Amino acid sequence: MNQRFDDDMERMLFTPEEIDHTVHRLAGEILTQYLDKPLTIISVLTGSLLFISDLIRLLPIRLHLDFIGTSSYGDNTTSSGTITITRQLRLGVKERHVLVVDDILDTGQTLSQVVDIVRALHPADVKTCVLLDKPSRRTVDIKPDFRGFAIPDLFVVGYGLDYAEQYRNLPYIAVLKESVYRS
Ligand code: XMP
């Protein structure tokens, strides 16, 4: 079977160049904020993998990097609402300034629960950064401190984002054809 996946995409939403431009802008904003502070970045796995690896290369400051694993989606495109922690934090954050980085803010359940987990560890401060934001889907009162793109209520894949663990390696962000997840 041919494993190429380009035909599964309805349309491209953000090109690699647009993503690159936005990641540079976010890095500039983050740098200004944390130039003189001890920073710990917490990347929410797995979707933020490509975003975090591009972002941290643009931050020429001393920082700690940790990961937290969460899972809220099964093999479908609707959040279950229940967040499972699949990988625990390994580094202490006491008195450090924490930036939680995720790929997408949808209902807000994931990010708000991760922020609660981090707050319980007594950091100096916790802020959030997301590449994509779907504000119309929010069920929890949370706004990202740093935001790449605001998007409408579309299910998107690529640049780390998956559908049923596929398409994370797409270098752009795309809307998936409905026929792919309805089949
Ligand atoms: P919540 O609803 O907790 O969702 O804010 C955050 C997590 O849900 C996943 N998510 C998506 N994944 N395309 C995806 O590939 C999407 O359009 C999408 N919307 C939400 C994602 O894992 C995120 O961390």
Kindly state if the Cβ of 39 falls inside 6 Å of ligand 1: no
Does residue 3 lie within any of the structural domains?
no
For residues 56 and 66, the answer to whether their CB atoms sit within 8 Å is no
Instruction: Name the pLDDT band for 76 (thresholds 50, 70, 90).
Output: low
Q: Is 133 in the pocket of ligand 1 (CB under 6 A)?
A: no
pLDDT tens track for 85-132:
999 999 999 999 999 999 999 999 999 999 999 999 999 999 999 999
> Cα 82 to chain center, whole Å?
17
135-147 confidence digits (pLDDT tens): 999 999 999 999 9
User: Domain for residue 145, yes or no?
Assistant: yes
Does 161 fall in a domain? no
Residue 40 lies in a domain: yes
CB of 128 closer than 6 angstroms to any ligand 1 atom: no
Three-state DSSP at 52 gives: helix
Q: Find tokens 């003189």 and name the residue.
A: 36
Catalytic residues: 106
Q: Which amino acid residue places its CA nearest to atom 18 of ligand 1?
A: 155
**Residues of the domain holding 130:** 17-154
Nearest atom (ligand 1) to Cα of 108: 5
Q: Model pTM?
A: 0.94
Give the pairing of strands 63-71 and 146-150: unpaired
Query: 168 lies in a domain?
Result: no
Q: Does the residue 175 lie in any domain? A: no
Q: How many structural domains does the chain have? A: 1
CATH number at 105 reads 3.40.50.2020
CA–CA distance, 181 with 37 (Å, rounded to integer): 44
* Atom number of ligand 1 nearest to Cα 137: 2
